[in-house]
Every structure is written in structure tokens, then in C-alpha cells.
Amino acid sequence: MTRPRSAVRRALLLHLVTSLVVLVVAGLGAVVCVQRVVAGEVERNAVAESRLVAHEVFAPLVTDGVRAGDPRALAVLDRAVRSRTHGSLLLRVKIWDQQGRVLYSDASALIGKRFPLEDDDLAVLRTQGSESNVSDVSRPENVFERGLAPVIEVYVGVRDAADRPAVVEIYFSAANMHRQEVELSTRLTLVSLLALAFLALLLVPLSLRLARRVERYERERLAMLRLAVDASADERRRLARELHDGVVQDLSGTRYVLASVEKQLADSDLPELRGTVRIALDVILVQIEALRSLTSTLFSPNPAGTDVTEVLAGLGRDAEARGLKVRLDIGPLPPLPATVAESLTQVAREALRNVVSHAGASGATVSLTASGDEVTLVIADDGCGFHPERAHTVPLGHLGLQLLQASAQRARGSLTIDSQIGRGTQVRLVIPVRRGEPDLADLWPGAEPSPAEELTAAAAGSRSG
């Protein structure tokens, strides 16, 4: 038995495309978020490192000797500074007192010089806090940092060895910090994308399972539909046999009796009675022909696998034989599933029958076209028409409308009826055609299984999955 794989393929393809789009969008979002988080984290780390070395290493070495410019005290502090800056992101260190005098700088030429402290630096000094900013090293005290621009300056308020306030200024290379940001961002982004890809791979078995479940449900639906189609065909054939062997034979017998009565009245003086019998004979003949046409229609085989164009042409010829001029307008059609073909032919047959019997029309147009993923059938006549809101009063009636609606719904189509008094009636049927959807005939190639066997096979497939 051939299994319809189109649903599974469509589901997997949709999953892959959706996953790719999600990965791209989520990846771009992850890159932006990671960059922002890493940039803030690198800056916070620089401030934290500055606070640590300022309080724990540099401040305890700022003694009275350093404030007095003692070379030995300055040498001790200088060794501590260079040991911390060697091989790290720290570029330059300065220590200020509250009057703006440089107590220490690794550029020794600045030691002892005075520069005005800005308001932010004074606030750090008073609060013993910290503050950072990006500097273009354009201030007078940055004369030895001109070639390092741009830099990030971190100011930390401390207490020296004698518990006097001071400000430790530490310089970081903005370029080095940016490289660190890029490295961390790349690693975190790669981890995020790998996690997203792993999640997408975990969803593949779930998508495959759901697609196979949909496939099984579709097979069961098609099996039920096949059972309904076969039951409908059996019922039509049963009704055709009963009409042919019952009502048609009885009417034929009645016609023969009335024909004998008409012959007996040929020599009588009752011409009016003979005329009435002749009218009855004509009516019975018309009804016999109508019933024979109906039984032929009911006994016709299921249109699955039949060329819809040929069926419509045959319906047009039958209508023309009963006095209706029919124009066919049929465009190129894709392969149609059995349910679609059956609905199209049933609606066309019922609509043309009503045009011939009740519309009083001289002509009708049958149009069948395909556009995109749907086919459209239109039957329009030039008859007397009716008010759609009074459909229950016309011969089409509730039953006729229900038959047409049922035929449309069987193929998941939509049916509209547009009619006006004196302007004819238009019946429009639009049915979606799913590309690649398994057809009834495709599910059971070769020997046709019975509907019960089909349902059993579908149920067994559902249990095994």
C-alpha cells in the first residue's frame, strides 16, 4: 500500500523554513543583546578592578613620604603600580590629593604638578565613590596620554595610609576593552546560536510525529469518505432499480391500458373523453422518459477517475435534447481528486436539471475554470429567476438547496446562488484543490478494497503509530 507522504514532507519543509527564519531573527536579536550586555559588563569589570586595586594596593602605599615627594616612598608605590599594570588592561595610574596636586604618576614628570579638579572628580573625592568616562585625552594633565586616545578613565575616591582623602585615576585602553567585548560577544553569540540550533533539532521529531498523525487522520478521513461515496453509489443504484422495476413499469402498464382505452373510444361519440385520455397518455410518456433519464443518472458510475470535461459535455447534450441550448466554457484543469470531480458533476447535474424543469430558460452557460489552488464552476441561465430569500417557494426548494450544499461541503467548497426575477439564476461553486493531496484512487492501487477493509487498515495504521 502506497503511503501519502506529501503531508509529512510539507510539515518537515515548513518546520525547516520556520526554524531557519527563527534562527536568523533570534540570532540577530541575540547578537544585539549580547553586545549590549557584554559592553556594560566589561565597563563594570573595569570599574570593579579599579576600585579593588585603588583601595587594596595603591591607597595603603600613599604615605606621608609620597605626599612629601620622598623618592624611596615613590619608588615603593611605583613598583606596586607597575606590577599591576604589566600584562593587564591598565595603562596609566595617577593619584591626586584634594587640592588637585599629582601625588603620583607613572609618568614621573607629572608628579607635584597641579591641575584643577572637575566637579565630578571632587564629588568622587567627597563620597569615596567611583566614576568612569571615555576621554579624548585633550586636557592639560593628559599630555603624556595623547598617543593612547581614546581611553577610559576611572576615578576612585580612597583614604590613604594616614586616612586622608585622595583620588586614584586609572586609564584603560578603549581599543583593548573593545577587543575584549568582541571576543566575549562572539563566544556568547556562538553559544546562543548553538542552543537555538539544538532546540530546533529537538523539535524535528515532534514535527515529524505530528505530521504522521495528521497523515493518519487524513487517511481515516479519506477512508470514511470512500465509504460514504460507495454507500451513496449503492443507494443510488438501489433507487434506480426500484424506480425502473416499480414506478416505470407501473406507468408503462398504465400507458398501455390507456392506449387501449383510447382505441376503444376512437369510434365513440365522446371526443372530449378521448382528448383527455390522449393528454394523460402524453403526460405519462413524459414522466416515463423523465424517470428513465433519472434512473440512468442514478445508476451512472462514480465520477472518480472520469474526465469532468466529458461528464459536463454529456450533461450539456442531455439538456439540449430536452430543448435547452447549452454553451460550455471549460478551461485547462489540473488533476482533480475524486471528491472534487464528484461534487462538480453532481452540482452541474442538479443545476441543469432545475434549469430544464423549472427555469423556463432558452439557454444556459456552464463554465469551469481553475485559478491558483481552486476550481470554479458556474451555471448561469436566462430563465425566469426567483427571489433567493423565497427559495422555499420555488421548485428547487429546501431539498434541492440542501443537495447542492451537501455536494459542495463534501469537497470543502462554497456554493452561492444568485437569482433575480426575470434575470435568470447563477449557481457558483468554488472548491479548493490541494496540490499533492492524496486522492482516493491513489491510496489503494490495484485491486479495490472494500470500505470496511479500508477503515480497518486505517485504524490499524493509527494504532501502530
Assign 384 a pLDDT band (cuts: 50, 70, 90): confident
82 located within any domain: yes
**In the listed set 157, 182, 207, which residue is the last one of a domain according to the structure?**
182
d(CA 388, CA 381): 15
Q: Which residue, 311, 375, 380, 370, is CA-closest to 346?
A: 311
pLDDT tens digits along 407-419? 777 778 888 888 8
The answer to whether residue 404 scores a pLDDT higher than 60 is yes
- Number of domains comprising the chain: 2
Please tell me the predicted confidence (pLDDT) of residue 360: 81
207 located within any domain: no
The answer to whether residue 322 scores a pLDDT higher than 60 is yes
Please tell me the predicted confidence (pLDDT) of residue 166: 92
**CATH number reported for the structural domain that contains residue 411 in this entry:** 3.30.565.10
**In the listed set 151, 182, 213, which residue is the last one of a domain according to the structure?**
182
Residue 315 and residue 178 share a domain: no
**In the listed set 125, 148, 182, which residue is the last one of a domain according to the structure?**
182
377 located within any domain: yes
Out of 114-123, 151-160, 384-393, 437-446, least confident range:
437-446
Residue 318 and residue 174 share a domain: no
d(CA 297, CA 295): 5
Provide the strand spans (E) within 239-362. Answer: 325-330
12 located within any domain: yes
368 located within any domain: yes
**CATH number reported for the structural domain that contains residue 45 in this entry:** 3.30.450.20
Please tell me the predicted confidence (pLDDT) of residue 212: 79
The answer to whether residue 462 scores a pLDDT higher than 50 is no
Assign 400 a pLDDT band (cuts: 50, 70, 90): low
Q: Which residue, 379, 375, 353, is CA-closest to 366?
A: 379
452 located within any domain: no
Report cis status (omega within 30 of 0) of the bond before 150.
yes
Residue 311 and residue 170 share a domain: no
Q: Which residues of 295-320 are buried (b: 16+ CB within 10 A; e: fewer)?
A: bebbbbebbbebebeebbeebbebbe
pLDDT tens digits along 166-183? 999 888 877 777 777 777
267 located within any domain: no
Provide the strand spans (E) within 97-220. Answer: 102-105, 130-135, 151-159, 165-173
Q: How far is CA 73 from the centre of its chain?
A: 75
245 located within any domain: no
The answer to whether residue 438 scores a pLDDT higher than 60 is no
Q: What is the residue range of 346's domain?
A: 306-434
% of residues, the chain, pLDDT over 70: 83
Residue 310 and residue 178 share a domain: no
pLDDT tens digits along 337-358? 777 888 888 888 888 888 887 7
Mean pLDDT of the 392-412 span:
62
